[in-house]
């Protein structure tokens, strides 16, 4: 940025006591130019064509209109995949949230002082978090076969990585006074942690886990596209057969389910905070 100051020289100002100070030029024009260049490159790479969007964009609303009114007679066929989706989301969220606890503790710089261990654990969490859920679900289907078990594994992996990061950041912001006092009194690290740190992070941890569960129900609905069971399987099938009224029924039931889960989750999270 020193080159920027050489091109656009700072403005010299004289304050009330006679002292001269420099007012540096805003970086906003430079940032806007960089964003415009990045956008232009993105348009070229992705092949974005506004004329195609204007010409074919209305087809989305044509398909959407065919979904309504939903075919209510198809409802009985949706219940089982819907419950499968909820079950694998719930179990995957619980397993991932529990597994994240020890890794989050080891990744907290105020608990573990060894920088190499911190780096290794945080790198591991970052790598796991980088893997898209659809990819991990696809790999799980190759290992464990088609079905909800593979979907549950994919959701557990995502939840583990997400909550692991959130939790170790929460642990690093707690007041360490009580923890250090207990250690000074002779308590071991585990006892000091459970007594002094856990009560401080537990509400946030549970709230984050519930929030993650909400999202997992939505993710689980599309995991069926790679054979991981649940609503995705029948969604893929009905869209392929152009049975949009059945697709509409599936989406309506998923929407109502997500709303119910969100209301319950919001109520519980409000009680925790």
Q: What is the CATH number of the domain that holds 163?
A: 1.10.3720.10
Dist CA 218 CA 259 (whole Å): 11
Same domain for 44 and 88, yes or no, is no
pTM above 0.85, yes or no: no
Same domain for 38 and 137, yes or no, is no
Provide mean pLDDT across the span 192-212. 86
Whether residue 102 is contained in a domain is answered as yes
Work out the mean pLDDT of the chain and round it to a whole number: 85
The pLDDT confidence band at residue 273, using thresholds 50, 70 and 90, is: low
pLDDT at position 112 over 80? yes
Whether residue 53 is contained in a domain is answered as no
For 263, the domain range is 69-272
């Amino acid at each position: 940025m020193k080159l920027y100051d050489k091109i656009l020289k700072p403005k010299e100002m004289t304050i009330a006591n006679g002292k001269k100070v420099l007012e540096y030029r805003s970086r906003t024009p430079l940032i806007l130019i960089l964003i415009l260049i990045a956008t232009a490159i993105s348009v070229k790479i992705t092949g974005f064509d506004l004329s195609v969007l204007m010409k074919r964009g209305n087809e989305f609303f044509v398909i959407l209109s065919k979904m309504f009114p939903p075919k209510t007679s198809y409802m009985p066929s949706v219940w089982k995949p819907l419950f499968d989706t909820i079950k694998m989301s719930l179990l995957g969220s619980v397993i991932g949230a529990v597994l994240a606890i020890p890794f989050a503790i080891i990744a907290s710089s105020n608990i573990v002082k060894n920088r190499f261990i911190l780096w290794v654990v945080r790198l591991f969490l970052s790598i796991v978090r980088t893997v898209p859920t659809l990819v991990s679900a696809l790999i799980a289907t190759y290992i464990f076969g088609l079905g909800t078990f593979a979907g549950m594994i994919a959701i557990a992996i995502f939840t583990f990585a997400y909550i692991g990061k959130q939790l170790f950041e929460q642990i690093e912001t707690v007041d360490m006074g009580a923890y250090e006092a207990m250690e000074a009194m002779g308590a071991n690290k585990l006892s000091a942690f459970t007594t002094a740190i856990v009560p401080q992070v537990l509400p946030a941890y549970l709230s984050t886990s519930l929030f993650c569960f909400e999202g997992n129900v939505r993710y689980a609905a599309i995991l069926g596209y790679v054979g991981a069971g649940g609503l995705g399987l029948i969604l893929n099938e009905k869209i392929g057969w152009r049975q949009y009224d059945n697709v509409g029924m599936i989406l309506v039931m998923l929407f109502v389910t997500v709303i119910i889960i969100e209301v319950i989750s919001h109520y519980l999270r409000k009680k925790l905070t």
